[in-house]
Amino acid sequence: MKKLVKPTRRDVLKFGVASSALAMPFVSRAWAETTEINMLAWYGHGEPDMVGEFEAANNVKFKPKYYAGGDNMLALIAQSPPGTYDLILSDAEFVQQLNTAGLIEEMNPADYPFDDMIYDDFKQFPGHWKDGKLYSVMVRCGHLGVSYNTKAISDEEAMSYKCFWKPEIKGKVGHFDWHLPSLGQMSLTNGNGAKLWDLDAGQWDAVKKTTMSLRPQVGGFFDYGGTFNGLKNGEMMAMVGIGDWITGVLEKDGAPVKSVVPKEGGIQWTESYSIGKGTPKADIVKKFIQYMLSPEGQVHSAQMAAYPGFAITKGGRKLLNEKNPKEAQRTGQVDGAPNDPVTLIKDGRIHYRDIPKQQTLEDWNEFWQEYKNA
């Protein structure tokens, strides 16, 4: 009969030490578990060039869900359960609607570098504050105007939206497939200036008429990729509803395309970060927004691979000029430059993108569908 071995105290201690040593990697792995941040944003914001550095430094992983257009963003968020998104990048004009729907958290102004912002308007951006409380922080912006192929349209011609009607480019004018920027530019063409979103019935009819008159020139309606390709392969010679955020990428690659703010004025797109309502990851999300507003984050943002934007803090602009003076020069992000985005705003040539004041978004969207089918 086999004798039963009784473990000694030393055996028990040995076994305990050995088990602990073997379990250590699993324990440390559990401690170091990566935090996932669900992000709702325009394409590119969750890519490595934007978030890679922050991910590595903070052991987080971004899970982006991309959209194109503010109403697309609202639609996506409305059909998701509360708390789906920890971080929301929104077009500034839609922040108010996010807030009204109770989809974003209140933020503490002291956490963000408002004193470093390059222009006073950016500190109190419309819709970002409600009853003195902060709900969203602007992180970048850019300008929309005439985007064109320099072989088909001269720089002088590009100084007016009228160049879209040039007979030589019939069938070669493309639209970024979102009603807001395109119809906004048509409103500017009609001379509505600062009141481009606040149209009475007569002005709205006139905008529709102007837009319809452009239809024979139009060669297509494109998403981001299609817009990019259309300009790159020369299929489209001019594009309505975009700006340097697309042509900038192509221009850097040597394509003969560029964007300018015409004499009728341009539109500013503005992107802002908000913290998703009810997220348990508010602290790390806040840290990320702070990172994006730091000079390093602003330089990443200004040179974003998917589409460039303007740095909106003084620190960001300064560092961009040090790290990539060529890009700073190209985009006018140099103090005193004639095409300095801040100068353009101060001169009244730039209008912040907004939603229609006297019509509903549905009215504009319905007309857009009618226009596409014309």
Partner 1 sequence: MAVPEPRKLDAYAVAWRLPMIIWQGLFFVGPLLFMIAMSFFLVKNYRMEPAFQFSNWVKVLTKGFFWDSYFLTLWLAVLATVCTTLIAFPMSYFLAFKVSETVRRWAIFFLIIPFFTSYLVRIFAWQVILAQQGVINGAFSLFGLGPYTMLNTQLGTLVGYLTLCLPLALILQTFSLANIDKRLVEAAHNLGCGRLRTIFTVVLPLAKTGMVVAAVFCFILSFGDFVAPYYLGGSKPPTLSIMIVDTSKSGQQWPRAAVVALMMIVTLLTVAFSSIGYAYRSRK
By CB under 8 A, the count of residues binding partner 1 is: 36
Q: Does 219 bind partner 1 (CB under 8 A)?
A: yes
Task: Pick one of 93, 177, 244, 354: the residue that binds partner 1 (CB under 8 A).
Answer: 177
Short-list 32, 13, 33, CA closest to 21: 13
Q: Which of residues 346-365 bind partner 1 (CB under 8 A)?
A: 361-362, 365
- The token duo for 21 is 């040593």
Minimal distance, residue 231 CB to partner 1, in Å: 12
Q: Which of residues 73-92 bind partner 1 (CB under 8 A)?
A: 74-75, 77-79
CB distance 84 to 100 below 8 Å: no
User: CB-wise, 106 or 366, nearer to partner 1?
Assistant: 366
Binding track over 228-247 against partner 1, x by CB under 8 A: -xx--xxx------------
Q: Does 370 bind partner 1 (CB under 8 A)?
A: yes
Spell 135-163 as b/e; 16+ CB within 10 A means b.
Answer: bbbbbbbbbbbbbbbeebbeeebbbebeb
Q: Which of residues 99-118 bind partner 1 (CB under 8 A)?
A: 100-101
Minimal distance, residue 168 CB to partner 1, in Å: 14
User: CB-wise, 122 or 221, nearer to partner 1?
Assistant: 221
Task: Pick one of 222, 245, 307, 310: the residue that binds partner 1 (CB under 8 A).
Answer: 222
Which range touches partner 1 (CB under 8 A), out of 16-24, 226-234, 252-260, 276-284?
Answer: 226-234
CA dihedral 38, 44, 45, 51 (to 10 degrees): 90
Short-list 46, 52, 142, CA closest to 91: 142
**Distance in angstroms (rounded) separating the CA atoms of residues 39 and 90:** 11
Binding track over 302-341 against partner 1, x by CB under 8 A: ----------------------------------------
- The token duo for 125 is 């951006």
CB distance 42 to 67 below 8 Å: yes
User: CB-wise, 8 or 79, nearer to partner 1?
Assistant: 79
Q: Which of residues 179-208 bind partner 1 (CB under 8 A)?
A: 179
Q: Does 373 bind partner 1 (CB under 8 A)?
A: yes
Task: Pick one of 34, 154, 329, 369: the residue that binds partner 1 (CB under 8 A).
Answer: 369
User: CB-wise, 113 or 226, nearer to partner 1?
Assistant: 226
Q: Which of residues 24-83 bind partner 1 (CB under 8 A)?
A: 69, 71-72, 74-75, 77-79
Distances 247 to 143, 272, 295 between C-alpha atoms, Å: 11, 22, 24
Chain residues in the site for partner 1 (CB under 8 A): 69, 71-72, 74-75, 77-79, 97, 100-101, 171, 174, 177, 179, 218-222, 226, 229-230, 233-235, 361-362, 365-366, 368-370, 372-374
